[in-house]
Amino acid sequence: MLPDDREVAVKRLFFNTRQWADQFFNEVRLVSQVQHKNLVKLLGCSVEGPESLLVYEYLCNTSLDHYLFGILNDLPSESPLHLK
């Protein structure tokens, strides 16, 4: 949880080779450059100590297609959801 009450997802990586470090920095570069409505945002990272952290925005636990296709946003709140 951030100070502004936003929930986040944290990915922990342990570096044991130079290749792992390269992969970490490539992921940071790629994710920070790509912006798309179907991708979570990279909010920050840390590379101190033996482990590194990537901090992403958190999406609540529901089916990905609800976010991709806007099913939850398009339904009235009192409407039951029926999927076939």
Domain for residue 53, yes or no? yes
Nearest to 54 by CA among 20, 13, 26, 3: 13
pTM: 0.61
pLDDT of 9-46, one tens digit each?
898 887 777 777 788 888 888 888 888 777 788 888 88
| The total number of structural domains that make up the chain | 1
Domain that holds residue 40: 8-74
Nearest to 45 by CA among 80, 11, 7, 84: 11
For the chain, what is the HEC assignment? CCCCCCCEEEEEEECCCHHHHHHHHHHHHHHHHCCCCCCCCEEEEECCCCEEEEEEECCCCCCHHHHHHCHHHHCCCCCCCCCC
Q: Residue 50's pLDDT is what?
A: 77
Which residues lie across from 38 on neighbouring strands? none
What is the CATH number for 39?
3.30.200.20
pLDDT of 60-84, one tens digit each?
766 666 666 665 555 555 545 444 4
